C-alpha cells in the first residue's frame, strides 16, 4: 500500500500521523521545520469564550453560532480526539476533561479557561482563602511576579472570590549551564533537568512559601525540558503544590509535549521528513497524485494515496496575503471563504479580532476542502487546523480543539475514503500503550505521570 | 481659591520638536533662563515623522539654491556637534532609464554653481556598492546626504539645553497667552498627565510649534499665520536594503528618497495638503504608491517585510505665489513672524517652515531677532559647541541611581541608547549601525536583552523608567527603540510592562493599560502594511498576547495612563 | 512568503531573515546552545544580529556556531538561519583566519600526504607529543578524533581491481581480510544491466573511509549498475565550513566538472553524506555559487541510501535480503538531515529482516564537519555529542551506524564502538560480505 502523506508537524499533523500509523497505514510526515507545538503551553483549549465564558466546552461546541469550524467537526470528533491524544501520552500527563473548563493563571496574571492541561500546569482549585506564592526567577525574561500577583489578586474569579497572590523573586542557584545575562526559558529549563538543581530550587520555594504562609506556589513554566520529573522534584522539595504558569514562546511545556508526540510518531513508524517544504503538486482526475518538496539538490517527489494537510493558518503563512492585498492558500490554492476587500478585513482600529483571521478553507464532514460549488476540491485531500474558516482562535481559546477535532475528522474521513474500517484498528492502536523506545535520553516520557 | 503654581523664565519656547529644542538650547546657551513646553513627547510630531534624511542640499540645488546652501552648511555643522544622532551614510542621486538627461544636466550645473560637493560614480562601481540597486540605473552622483535620528537629535539638543539650565516640560499644553499692555507676559499651561493648570511668567515667547504654529498664534487672536501643512507618508521595511541614501535624479516628486535609517529602510514620501495636522491619514492607495516607488529603486522592495508606516506634517508657510495644492513648490525656507511689526503684539516671535536639517540655523536666527528686540545682543555658539554625549553615569554597579531631583523639573532628557554600563566608553564618533550589536555583544553576559529586534537591554529600560516613571511605552520606544523592530512589540511590550511593574515604576493596572495603549498606537502604523510577513507576525503576536497571556481578560485599569 | 529572486539575488539567506517571527523554535533545538552558554543561539546571531551587521564583523560569539544547520531545519518559517551564520562567519574569518582552519580545509592534501604512509602517519598522529604540539601551535584539540588513514586508497583498490579484471581474476574489498566469503547469490559482477552511475567518493571516501566506498560500489554493481569513478578532487566543504569561500568555490566547481566528465545525465551516487550536502546545498545556498555545471551536478547527485530508497519506491530494489538479527543504533548526521529528504537509511534498513534500527533522535553528534576538532570547541563538541553517545551505548550493540565520515570518527571515539555507514549492512544483507556477525 502506498503511503499517506501528512503535511505539517504541529498538533494536528502529529495527531493525524500517529492515528493513521496506529491504524496500520504507512505514513510520511513532511514539515517545513518543526511544528508549532513548542509555541504553545501544551494546554488543550477547546472553547473558552463563545463569546461569554464557557464552562462546559464539549456541550457548547455543537451550539456555536455559524459559520464556525466546529459546525463541521462536531463535538464527537473533539471528544474522540482528546481521548486519542491522551492515549498517545503517558498516563496522567494531561489532567482535566473535555466536558469542563478550569481557570489557569497566565504570565500576565489573567485567568484563562482551558479544558485539559499538562499536570504540571494545573493549579489547585482557586478559592477565596487561597494564598498563592507567585515566584519569579531572576533569569526568566517573560515572567514578572509583581505584575502576575497583582493582577491575579485584583481579579474576581467567576463563581468564586479572589485569591491572595504574593509576589517574590528568587535568584536561581549558580549552575555552569546557566549563565547570567541573557538566557532563554529553555536554557533555564535545561538547568532544571538536573535533579540537584531542581531540588535546590524546591527548597528555596519551601522557605519563601513558609514565610509567606502560602498554600500553593506558582512559578514560570521552566521546570525541565522532558516530562514532569523536574516538576515533581521541585514540588517534593517545596512541600506544597507547585504549578507552572505558561510563558510566551518558546515554551518548555509545549516543547515537552512536542517531544512526546514526536517520539510516539517515531515509535509508530511514521517517516519524518523535517525541513522540507512542499512546493508543488500534481493532480489527476480530482486526486492529488504527486507532491514535490524543495529538498536540497533535486527536490523530492512523493506519490501519496491521500494527503492530510495541517499546515497552520495565518501564523505559519499557509494563508498569506501579498503586498497588493491578495489572499491565498499558498500550496494548493484552495478556495477561501470569507474573502472581502481588504478595508473590510483589516480595520483601522486595533483589535485582536480582525475579520481577516476568519478567512479560511471550508470542508465537508470528512475535512475535504470544498469548491465554491460545495464539491471536494480533491477527493483525497483532507485539511484542517488553522486553515479552517470562521474562528478567531486566540480570542475563543479554541485552538487545540479545532486542530484536534479536525485531525480526528480527517483521519476518520480518510479511512472511510479508502475503505478501511476505523474503529477496531484505532482501538487496537490506542490499546498499544507500549513504552517508547528508551533510545531517547532526555526525551523518555515517564509513563506513570501524575500529580505529586 | 487655590493659587495656581507660577513659574517664570526669560524665554518660554512653545513646541518640543527639533526647532523648539534648538531654540531652547540656543537661548539657554546665551544665558537666558528658558522653559520649553511641549504638549506631547519631544519630537513626537514632525521631527519624529520624517524619512530620517539629513539633507546635503542636493535635493534643493535646482529648485531652491538658498535652501540647498543652508542645508550643505548645516549638514556639516550637525555632523560635528551631534555625531551621536547621525550616521554619515553618504547619498546618491540616481537617474533611471527614461528619466531623461534634462534634470541631470540642470542638477550638475546647479551643484557646481552652488559649490555643493558631488561626484559621479561609475555604474559598475555603483552596482558593486549597492547590489540591490535597480539595473535600470543609468547615472549615479554621490552627495553628502546622511541618516539622522530625529529623536536622538532632539534629545541631544535638549540635553545641552538642560546643561545650560533650561527646563523642559513635556505633556504640557499651552491653553492661553496673557498680555500686559500689548506685550505678552504669561503662558497659561495645563499638565496633561496630572491635569494641573499653571502659569509661566514669560519675558519673551518663541512659538516653534511647527505645523501647529498658527494655532498657537490664534491664542493671541492672530488668525493669519497660515501654515499649509503638507502631509508626507513614509514606509519602513525591516532591514537595510541599501547602505546609503538613494534619491531619484529627477524633478522632486513622490517617493523619490530611500534612507537606510538605523536597522530599516524608509521610502518617502507623498506630498498632499492636509487641513489638520492632528488628523493625518494614510490611505492604502498612497501606501501602494510608496511601495511602487521603493520597487523602482530596489526591485523586490514589495517582498521585503513591511514594518511600519507613518505620516508627518511639514510646517510649510503659505506663499501666495503658488496654489495651495502645489505644496511641493512652496518654500522649504524658514519664516520668522515678528508679531510686533505685523500684529502689534510685543514679546513673541513665531518661527516655521524650514527643515530638520536646518533646525539649528532657524533657532539661531530667531534667537538673534529676539536678542535685538530685547536690546541684548549675545553671540550664538550652537554651531561650534558639540552637544554633550549621552551620559554614562546613570548606571553604577548594578544600581540604578535616582536622578538628582529638581522639584518641578525632574526631566533629565537623554536618549537611552547607546546603552552603556558604568565605566564602558561610549562611542563618541559618528554612529554606525554595527555599534549596537557590538554593544550587545559586550553586555550580553551580564544583562538581559528586552527588545530582541532592536537590542535594547534591561538596564537601559530600567534606567529610563527610573528617570521617567511617567513615560508611556511609546515614550520609551522613542528613547530606546523598544518595539520598533520586526516583531513590533509582540514580545517586548508585555516584557517591558512587566519590568515596569516589577521595578515599582508602574502599578499592575498602569502596566496593563500601558500595554493596551501601546498596541493600539502601534496598530495605526501597522495596519496598512499587514500583509506578508507582518500578517504572520500579527497572528503570532495575537496568539501570545491573547491566546497565551489572556490580555483581553485582564480587568480594566482604574488608573489613567496617557 | 516566497522570496523575491530579484531582492534575494546574491543574498537569498539575508532576504529570508524577514520571515523570522522570533518564535525561538531554533533555540529549543540548537545543540550548541544546549551545551554552552558561550553561544547566544541561532536566533540571536542569525536573523537578529544580521540586521545590524552591514557586511561587517563585530560579534565574535558567532564563532561558537558549529554550522550543523539544525536551526534552518527546524525553522517553521523558512529562515535560512545556518546559512546566514555561515556567511557572517566567513566575513569574520576574512579578518581573522587561524592557520588551523586553513589546514583543516585541505582535506585532499591531508589524505594524499597520509595515505601512502598510513601506518606511519596514523602512528604519528596518535603520539601524545605530536598531538600536544598540534594542540598548542595549530589549535587542533589534543584529544580530538582525527582520521585513521587507510592503507589502501580507493584509487589503488580501483586500479588493482581494474588490472585483475583485465587478467580475469577478481579482487574483493577489504572484506576478504575478515575472511568472509562474498555470497554468490545474485551476484552479477561486471554485468551492468541497468546502465551507468557515477560514484563520487569524497576525500574521506578516497583515503580514510575507503571500505565504505568499496561497499557502496559493490552494492551498486550487485544491483546491476556499471559504476564509473572519474578522477575527482575535493568538494571544498571543509573550506566552506571554515569560511574559506573563495577556495571552496574553486574546489566545488572543479569537482563539478570532474563528475560531469563521466557522462551527461548520469546519476551521481555518493556514500559521503556531507560532501553530497555540499553539492546539493551548501555551495549554492551558503556560498551563493551560481553556476550551471554545479546546478546540474547538484540536481543529479544522490546519497547512496537515498538512491536505494528511490529504487525501492519505484519497485526496483530487490528485497532479497538475508536476515541480520540485531538491534543497531543509528545517528542521522546533521549534514544529511539538512538535505531535507527525510531519513532514507531508516527506510532502506527497515527492509532487512531481523534488523531493528534505533534512531538517536538527536540533532548533531557535535563534530559538525571540523568543529569538534578545534581546541576551543572540543569540549563543547563532546558535550553536544554526549546524548548521541548515550543512545549508542545503551543500544547494547557492538556496531553503530552513521552516514558521514567525521561523525563516525566522533562516534567511534565517543562510544568505543565500531561505527559504519548504513550501506555496510545493506552490503551484508545482500550477501556481499559480513559487517556484523550475528548468531
Residue pLDDT, tens place only, A331-362: 999 999 999 999 999 999 999 999 999 999 99
Strand partners, A300: A293
Q: Cβ distance B549 to A106 under 8 Å?
A: yes
The pLDDT of residue C354 is: 95
Q: Which of B486, B487, B545, B481 shows the shortest CA–CA distance to B516?
A: B545
**For chain A, what is the mean pLDDT?**
91
Within 10 A of A179 (CB to CB), how many other CB atoms are there?
A: 17
Element (H or E) spanning C410, and its range?
A: helix C405-415
The pLDDT of residue C114 is: 57
Q: Which of C301, C12, C288, C253 shows the shortest CA–CA distance to A297?
A: C301
Which of the residue ranges A5-19, B9-23, B475-489 would you say has the lowest mean pLDDT? B475-489
Give the closest of A110, A112, A141 to B448, CB-based: A141
State which residues form the domain around B466. 433-553
Is the alpha carbon torsion for B4, B5, B11, B12 positive or negative? Answer: negative
Q: How many structural domains comprise chain C?
A: 3
pLDDT at C3 over 60: no
For A357, phi then psi, to 5°, come to -75, -5
Whether chain B has a CB inside 8 Å of the CB on C60: the answer is: yes
Of B87, B128, B132, B297, which to mutate for an interface test with C (greatest number of C Cβ within 10 Å)? B132
Quick: pLDDT tens for A107-156: 999 999 999 999 999 999 888 889 999 999 999 999 999 999 999 999 88
B129: in domain: no
Q: Does C407 lie in the same domain as C334?
A: yes
The pLDDT of residue C120 is: 54
Residue B58 CA to residue B116 CA, distance in Å, equals 7
* The three cell numbers locating residue B241: 536594503
B518: in domain: yes
Which of the residue ranges A379-383, C51-55, C141-145, C433-437 would you say has the lowest mean pLDDT? C141-145
The pLDDT of residue B14 is: 98
Residue C278, burial from CB neighbour count under 10 angstroms (0-12, 13-18, 19+): buried
Residue B452 CA to residue C51 CA, distance in Å, equals 11
Of A54, A145, A315, A398, which to mutate for an interface test with B (greatest number of B Cβ within 10 Å)? A315
Residue A373 CA to residue A369 CA, distance in Å, equals 11
* Chain A CB contacts of C21 below 8 Å: 315
Q: Does C364 lie in the same domain as C303?
A: no
The pLDDT of residue B256 is: 95
Q: Cβ distance C267 to C225 under 8 Å?
A: no
Chain A neighbours (≥3 Cβ pairs under 8 A) are B, C
Q: Does C380 lie in the same domain as C238?
A: no
Q: Cβ distance A242 to A219 under 8 Å?
A: yes
Report the pLDDT averaged over residues B267-277. Answer: 90
C127: in domain: no
C439: in domain: no
Angstrom CA distances, A414 to A71, A87, C50, stand at 19, 21, 45
Report the pLDDT averaged over residues A218-241. Answer: 97
Chain B neighbours (≥3 Cβ pairs under 8 A) are A, C
Residue C213 CA to residue C235 CA, distance in Å, equals 16
Residue C241 CA to residue C68 CA, distance in Å, equals 10
Q: Does C167 lie in the same domain as C275?
A: yes
Q: Do C339 and A297 count as a contact with CB atoms less than 8 A apart?
A: yes
Q: Does C295 lie in the same domain as C349?
A: no
Q: Model confidence at A450, in pLDDT bands (50, 70, 90)?
A: very low
| Domain C-terminal end among C312, C331, C351 | C312
Residue A314 CA to residue A387 CA, distance in Å, equals 8
* Chain A CB contacts of C394 below 8 Å: 438-439, 441
Cis peptide before A381 (omega within 30 of 0): no
Residue C232 CA to residue A319 CA, distance in Å, equals 46
Q: Do B485 and C51 count as a contact with CB atoms less than 8 A apart?
A: yes
Which residues neighbour A82 within 8 Å (Cβ) at sequence distance 6 or greater? Answer: A44, A46, A98, A115, A116, A404
Q: Does C200 lie in the same domain as C54?
A: no
**From the CA of C78, how many Å to the nearest CA of chain B?**
12
Residue A169 CA to residue A253 CA, distance in Å, equals 21
Q: Cβ distance A113 to A48 under 8 Å?
A: yes
Query: CA-nearest residue of chain A to B555?
Result: A155
Q: Does C306 lie in the same domain as C321?
A: no
Quick: pLDDT tens for C320-368: 999 999 999 999 999 999 999 999 999 999 999 999 999 999 999 999 8
pLDDT at B165 over 60: yes
Rounded to the nearest angstrom, the gap between the alpha carbon of residue A406 and the centroid of all alpha carbons in its chain is 13
Element (H or E) spanning B451, and its range?
A: strand B449-451
| Domain C-terminal end among C285, C312, C339 | C312
* Chain C CB contacts of B88 below 8 Å: none
Query: CA-nearest residue of chain C to B448?
Result: C40
**From the CA of C250, how many Å to the nearest CA of chain B?**
21
What is the crossing angle of helices B508-526 and B473-480, to 10°?
Answer: 60
The pLDDT of residue A237 is: 98
Residue B83 CA to residue B562 CA, distance in Å, equals 32
Rounded to the nearest angstrom, the gap between the alpha carbon of residue A392 and the centroid of all alpha carbons in its chain is 16
B511: in domain: yes
**For chain B, what is the mean pLDDT?**
88
The CATH number linked to C387 is: 3.40.50
Q: Does C286 lie in the same domain as C192?
A: yes
Helix runs in C76-127, H state only:
81-95, 99-104, 107-114, 118-126
Whether chain B has a CB inside 8 Å of the CB on C36: the answer is: no
Strand partners, A53: A49
Which residues neighbour B299 within 8 Å (Cβ) at sequence distance 6 or greater? Answer: B132, B134, B135, C4, C6, C7
Query: CA-nearest residue of chain B to A319?
Result: B536
State which residues form the domain around C72. 8-92
Q: Do B502 and A145 count as a contact with CB atoms less than 8 A apart?
A: yes
DSSP B443: H
The pLDDT of residue C6 is: 36
The pLDDT of residue B419 is: 33
Q: Cβ distance A132 to A152 under 8 Å?
A: yes
> Helix (H, G, I), strand (E, B), or coil: what is residue B477?
helix
Query: CA-nearest residue of chain C to B303?
Result: C4
Percent pLDDT > 90 in chain A is: 85
C120: in domain: no
Q: Does C177 lie in the same domain as C255?
A: yes
Q: Does C379 lie in the same domain as C284?
A: no
Whether chain B has a CB inside 8 Å of the CB on C95: the answer is: no
pLDDT at A262 over 80: yes
Residue C372 CA to residue C366 CA, distance in Å, equals 6
End-to-end CA distance of chain C: 55
C113: in domain: no
Q: Do C340 and A300 count as a contact with CB atoms less than 8 A apart?
A: yes
The pLDDT of residue B403 is: 36
Angstrom CA distances, A162 to A165, A168, B412, B498, stand at 9, 19, 41, 21
Helix runs in A154-193, H state only:
185-192
The pLDDT of residue B327 is: 56
Quick: pLDDT tens for C115-167: 555 555 565 556 555 566 566 656 777 787 777 777 788 988 998 888 887 77
Q: Cβ distance B74 to B360 under 8 Å?
A: yes
DSSP B149: -
C107: in domain: no
The pLDDT of residue C7 is: 38
pLDDT at B540 over 50: yes
Report the pLDDT averaged over residues A49-61. Answer: 95
Q: Does C218 lie in the same domain as C173?
A: yes
C279-318 per-residue burial string, b: 16 or more CB within 10 A, e: under 16? bbbbbbbbbbbebebbebbbebbbbbbbbbbbbbbeeebe
Q: Does C386 lie in the same domain as C271?
A: no
Q: Which of A160, A246, A233 shows the shortest CA–CA distance to A201?
A: A233
Quick: pLDDT tens for B2-20: 688 999 999 999 999 999 9
Residue A284 CA to residue A287 CA, distance in Å, equals 5
The pLDDT of residue B451 is: 94
Quick: pLDDT tens for B225-266: 888 888 999 999 999 999 999 999 999 999 999 999 999 999
Query: CA-nearest residue of chain A to C390?
Result: A441
pTM for this predicted structure: 0.91
The CATH number linked to C16 is: 1.10.1060.10
C162: in domain: yes
Residue A274 CA to residue C75 CA, distance in Å, equals 10
The pLDDT of residue B34 is: 98
Report the pLDDT averaged over residues B492-511. Answer: 95
The pLDDT of residue B397 is: 28
B505: in domain: yes
Q: Which of B249, B231, B270 shows the shortest CA–CA distance to B61?
A: B249
Whether chain B has a CB inside 8 Å of the CB on C84: the answer is: no
Quick: pLDDT tens for B390-415: 754 333 222 333 333 333 333 334 33
Q: Cβ distance A46 to A400 under 8 Å?
A: yes
Q: How many structural domains comprise chain B?
A: 1
C133: in domain: no
Rounded to the nearest angstrom, the gap between the alpha carbon of residue B152 and the centroid of all alpha carbons in its chain is 8
| Domain C-terminal end among C270, C294, C312 | C312
pLDDT at B158 over 50: yes
Strand partners, B179: B184
Quick: pLDDT tens for C10-37: 466 678 899 999 999 999 999 999 999 8
The pLDDT of residue A420 is: 63
Cis peptide before A51 (omega within 30 of 0): yes
Within 10 A of A351 (CB to CB), how many other CB atoms are there?
A: 15
Query: CA-nearest residue of chain C to B536?
Result: C21
Of B263, B305, B441, B490, which to mutate for an interface test with C (greatest number of C Cβ within 10 Å)? B441
Residue C144 CA to residue C363 CA, distance in Å, equals 20
> Helix (H, G, I), strand (E, B), or coil: what is residue B317?
strand
Report the pLDDT averaged over residues A36-50. Answer: 95
Amino acid at each position: 500500500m502506498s503511503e499517506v502523506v501528512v503535511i505539517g508537524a504541529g498538533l494536528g499533523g502529529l495527531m493525524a500521523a500517529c492515528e493513521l500509523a496506529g491504524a496500520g497505514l504507512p505514513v510520511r510526515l513532511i514539515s517545513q521545520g518543526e511544528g508549532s507545538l513548542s509555541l504553545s503551553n501544551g494546554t488543550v483549549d477547546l472553547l473558552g469564550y463563545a463569546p461569554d465564558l464557557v464552562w462546559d466546552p464539549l456541550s457548547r461546541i455543537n451550539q456555536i453560532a455559524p459559520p464556525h469550524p466546529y459546525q463541521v467537526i462536531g463535538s464527537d470528533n473533539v471528544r474522540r480526539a482528546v481521548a486519542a491524544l491522551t492515549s498517545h501520552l503517558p498516563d496522567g500527563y494531561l489532567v482535566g476533561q473535555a466536558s469542563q473548563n478550569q481557570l489557569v493563571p497566565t504570565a500576565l496574571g489573567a485567568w484563562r479557561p482551558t479544558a485539559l492541561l499538562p499536570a504540571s500546569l494545573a493549579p489547585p482549585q482557586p478559592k477565596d482563602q487561597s494564598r498563592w506564592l507567585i515566584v519569579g526567577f531572576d533569569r526568566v525574561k517573560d515572567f514578572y511576579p509583581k505584575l502576575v500577583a497583582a493582577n491575579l489578586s485584583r481579579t474576581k474569579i467567576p463563581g468564586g472570590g479572589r485569591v491572595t497572590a504574593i509576589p517574590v523573586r528568587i535568584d536561581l542557584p549558580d549552575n555552569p549551564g546557566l549563565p547570567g545575562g541573557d538566557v532563554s526559558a529553555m536554557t533555564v529549563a535545561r538547568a532544571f533537568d538536573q535533579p540537584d538543581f531542581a531540588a535546590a530550587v524546591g527548597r528555596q520555594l519551601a522557605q519563601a512559601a513558609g514565610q509567606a504562609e502560602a498554600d500553593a506556589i506558582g512559578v514560570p513554566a521552566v521546570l525541565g525540558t522532558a516530562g514532569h520529573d523536574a516538576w515533581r522534584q521541585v514540588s517534593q522539595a517545596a512541600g506544597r503544590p507547585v504549578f507552572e504558569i505558561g510563558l510566551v514562546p518558546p515554551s518548555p511545556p509545549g516543547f515537552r509535549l512536542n517531544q512526546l508526540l514526536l517520539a510516539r510518531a517515531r515509535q509508530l513508524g511514521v517517516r519524518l521528513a523535517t525541513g522540507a517544504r512542499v512546493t508543488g503538486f500534481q493532480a489527476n482526475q480530482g486526486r492529488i497524485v504527486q507532491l514535490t518538496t524543495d529538498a536540497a539538490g533535486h527536490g523530492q517527489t512523493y506519490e501519496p494515496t491521500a494527503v492530510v494537510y495541517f499546515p497552520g493558518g495565518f501564523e505559519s503563512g499557509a494563508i498569506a496575503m501579498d503586498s497588493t492585498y491578495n489572499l491565498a492558500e499558498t500550496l494548493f490554492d484552495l478556495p477561501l471563504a470569507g474573502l472581502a476587500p481588504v478595508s473590510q478585513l483589516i480595520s483601522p482600529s486595533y483589535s485582536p479580532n480582525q475579520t481577516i483571521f476568519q478567512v479560511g478553507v471550508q470542508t465537508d464532514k470528512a475535512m475535504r476542502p470544498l469548491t465554491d460549488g460545495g464539491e471536494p476540491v480533491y477527493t483525497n485531500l483532507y485539511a484542517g487546523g488553522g486553515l479552517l474558516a470562521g474562528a478567531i482562535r486566540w480570542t475563543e481559546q479554541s485552538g487545540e480543539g479545532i486542530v484536534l477535532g479536525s485531525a480526528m475528522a480527517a483521519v476518520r474521513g480518510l479511512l472511510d475514503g479508502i475503505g478501511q474500517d476505523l474503529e477496531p484498528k484505532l482501538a487496537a492502536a490506542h490499546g498499544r500503550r507500549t513504552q517508547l523506545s528508551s533510545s531517547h535520553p532526555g526525551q523518555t516520557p515517564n509513563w506513570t505521570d501524575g500529580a505529586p | 481659591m487655590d493659587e495656581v503654581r507660577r513659574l517664570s523664565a526669560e524665554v518660554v519656547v512653545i513646541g518640543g520638536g527639533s526647532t523648539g529644542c534648538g531654540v531652547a538650547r540656543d537661548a539657554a546657551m546665551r544665558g537666558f533662563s528658558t522653559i520649553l513646553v511641549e504638549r506631547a513627547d519631544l519630537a513626537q510630531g514632525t521631527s519624529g515623522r520624517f524619512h530620517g534624511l539629513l539633507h546635503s542640499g542636493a535635493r534643493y540645488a535646482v529648485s531652491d539654491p538658498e535652501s540647498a546652501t543652508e542645508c550643505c552648511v548645516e549638514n556639516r555643522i550637525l555632523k560635528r556637534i551631534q555625531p551621536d544622532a547621525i550616521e554619515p551614510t553618504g547619498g546618491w542621486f540616481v537617474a533611471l532609464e527614461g528619466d531623461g538627461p534634462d534634470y541631470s544636466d540642470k542638477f550638475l550645473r546647479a551643484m557646481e554653481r552652488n559649490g555643493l560637493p558631488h561626484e559621479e560614480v561609475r555604474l559598475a562601481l555603483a552596482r558593486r556598492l549597492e547590489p540591490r540597486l535597480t539595473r535600470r540605473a543609468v547615472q549615479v552622483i554621490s552627495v553628502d546626504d546622511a541618516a539622522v535620528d530625529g529623536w536622538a537629535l532632539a534629545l541631544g539638543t535638549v540635553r545641552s539645553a538642560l546643561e545650560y539650565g533650561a527646563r523642559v516640560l513635556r505633556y504640557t499644553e499651552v491653553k492661553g497667552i496673557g498680555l500686559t499692555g500689548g506685550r505678552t507676559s504669561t503662558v497659561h499651561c495645563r499638565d496633561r498627565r496630572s491635569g494641573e493648570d499653571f502659569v509661566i511668567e514669560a519675558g519673551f515667547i518663541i512659538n516653534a510649534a511647527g505645523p501647529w504654529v498658527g494655532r498657537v498664534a490664534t491664542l493671541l487672536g492672530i488668525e493669519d499665520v497660515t501654515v499649509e501643512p503638507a502631509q508626507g507618508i513614509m514606509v519602513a521595511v525591516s532591514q537595510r536594503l541599501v547602505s546609503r541614501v538613494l534619491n531619484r535624479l529627477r524633478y522632486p516628486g513622490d517617493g523619490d528618497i530611500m534612507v537606510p535609517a538605523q536597522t530599516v529602510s524608509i521610502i518617502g514620501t507623498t506630498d498632499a495638503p492636509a487641513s489638520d495636522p492632528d488628523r493625518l491619514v494614510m490611505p492604502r492607495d498612497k501606501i501602494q504608491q510608496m511601495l511602487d516607488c521603493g520597487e523602482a529603486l530596489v526591485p523586490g522592495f514589495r517582498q521585503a517585510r513591511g514594518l511600519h508606516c507613518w505620516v508627518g506634517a511639514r510646517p510649510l508657510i503659505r506663499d501666495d505665489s503658488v496654489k495651495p495644492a502645489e505644496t511641493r513648490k512652496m518654500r522649504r525656507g524658514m519664516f520668522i513672524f515678528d508679531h510686533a511689526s505685523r500684529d502689534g503684539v510685543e514679546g513673541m516671535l513665531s518661527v516655521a517652515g524650514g527643515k530638520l536639517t536646518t533646525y539649528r540655523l532657524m533657532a539661531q536666527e530667531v534667537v538673534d531677532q529676539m536678542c535685538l528686540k530685547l536690546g541684548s545682543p549675545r553671540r550664538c555658539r550652537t554651531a561650534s559647541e558639540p552637544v554633550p554625549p549621552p551620559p554614562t553615569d546613570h548606571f553604577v554597579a548594578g544600581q540604578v541611581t535616582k536622578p538628582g531631583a529638581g522639584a518641578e523639573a525632574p526631566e533629565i532628557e537623554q536618549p537611552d541608547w547607546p546603552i552603556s554600563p558604568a565605566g564602558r566608553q561610549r562611542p563618541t564618533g559618528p554612529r554606525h549601525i554595527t555599534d549596537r550589536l557590538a554593544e550587545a555583544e559586550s553586555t550580553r553576559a551580564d544583562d538581559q536583552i528586552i527588545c530582541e529586534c532592536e537590542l535594547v537591554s534591561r538596564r537601559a529600560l530600567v534606567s529610563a523608567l527610573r528617570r521617567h516613571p511617567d513615560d508611556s511605552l511609546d515614550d520609551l520606544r522613542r528613547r530606546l527603540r523598544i518595539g520598533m523592530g520586526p516583531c513590533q512589540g509582540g514580545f517586548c511590550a508585555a516584557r517591558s510592562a512587566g519590568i515596569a511593574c516589577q521595578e515599582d515604576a508602574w502599578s499592575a493596572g498602569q502596566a496593563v493599560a500601558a500595554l493596551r495603549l501601546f498596541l493600539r498606537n502601534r496598530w495605526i502604523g501597522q495596519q496598512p502594511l499587514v500583509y506578508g510577513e507582518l500578517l504572520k507576525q500579527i497572528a503570532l503576536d495575537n496568539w501570545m498576547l491573547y491566546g497565551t497571556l489572556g490580555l483581553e481578560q485582564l480587568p480594566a485599569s482604574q488608573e489613567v495612563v496617557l | 512568503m516566497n522570496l523575491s529572486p530579484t531582492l534575494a539575488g546574491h543574498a537569498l539567506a539575508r532576504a529570508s531573515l524577514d520571515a523570522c517571527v522570533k518564535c525561538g523554535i531554533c533555540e529549543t533545538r540548537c545543540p550548541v546552545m544546549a551545551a554552552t552558554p558561550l553561544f547566544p543561539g541561532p536566533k540571536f546571531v542569525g536573523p537578529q544580529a544580521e540586521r545590524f551587521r552591514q557586511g561587517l564583523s563585530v560579534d565574535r560569539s558567532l564563532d561558537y556556531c558549529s554550522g550543523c544547520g539544525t536551526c534552518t531545519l527546524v525553522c517553521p518559517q523558512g529562515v535560512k538561519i545556518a546559512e546566514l551564520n555561515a556567511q557572517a562567519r566567513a566575513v569574520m574569518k576574512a579578518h581573522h583566519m587561524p592557520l588551523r582552519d586553513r589546514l583543516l580545509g585541505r582535506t585532499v592534501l591531508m589524505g594524499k600526504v597520509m595515505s601512502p604512509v598510513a601506518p606511519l602517519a596514523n602512528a604519528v598522529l596518535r603520539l601524545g607529543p605530536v598531538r600536544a604540539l598540534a594542540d598548542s601551535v595549530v589549535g587542533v584539540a589534543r584529544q580530538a578524533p582525527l582520521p585513521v588513514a587507510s592503507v589502501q586508497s580507493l584509487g589503488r583498490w580501483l586500479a588493482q581491481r581494474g588490472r585483475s579484471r583485465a587478467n580475469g581474476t577478481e579482487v574483493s574489498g577489504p572484506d576478504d581480510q575478515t575472511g568472509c566469503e562474498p555470497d554468490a547469490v545474485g551476484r552479477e559482477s561486471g554485468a551492468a544491466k541497468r546502465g551507468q552511475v557515477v560514484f563520487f567518493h569524497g576525500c574521506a571516501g578516497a583515503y580514510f573511509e575507503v571500505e565504505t566506498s568499496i561497499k557502496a560500489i559493490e552494492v551498486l554493481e550487485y544491483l546491476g549498475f556499471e559504476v564509473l569513478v572519474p578522477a575527482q578532487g575535493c568538494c571544498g566543504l571543509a573550506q566552506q565550513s571554515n569560511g574559506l569561500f573563495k577556495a571552496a568555490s574553486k574546489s566545488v566547481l572543479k569537482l563539478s566538472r570532474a563528475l560531469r566528465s563521466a557522462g551527461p545525465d548520469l546519476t551521481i551516487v555518493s556514500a559521503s553524506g556531507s560532501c553530497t550536502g555540499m553539492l546539493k546545498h551548501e555551495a549554492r545556498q551558503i556560498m551563493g555559487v551560481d553556476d550551471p555545471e554545479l546546478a546540474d551536478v547538484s540536481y543529479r547527485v544522490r546519497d547512496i541510501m537515498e538512491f536505494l530508497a528511490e529504487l525501492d519506491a519505484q519497485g526496483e530494489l530487490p528485497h532479497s535480503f538475508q536476515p541480520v538479527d540485531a538491534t543497531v543504533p543509528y545517528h542521522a548526521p546533521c549534514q544529511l538531515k539538512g538535505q531535507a529528504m527525510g531519513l532514507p537509511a531508516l527506510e532502506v534498513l527497515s527492509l532487512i529482516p531481523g534488523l531493528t534500527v534505533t534512531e538517536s533522535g538527536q540533532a548533531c553528534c557535535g563534530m559538525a564537519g571540523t568543529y569538534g576538532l578545534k581546541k576551543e570547541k572540543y569540549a563543547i563538541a563532546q558535550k553536544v555529542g554526549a546524548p548521541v553517545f548515550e543512545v549508542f551505548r545503551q543500544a547494547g550493540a557492538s556496531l553503530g551506524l552513521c552516514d558521514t565520515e567525521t561523525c563516525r570518527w566522533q562516534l567511534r571515539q565517543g562510544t568505543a564502538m565500531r561505527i559504519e555507514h548504513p550501506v555496510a549492512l545493506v552490503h551484508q544483507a545482500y550477501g556481499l560480505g559480513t559487517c556484523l556477525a550475528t548468531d
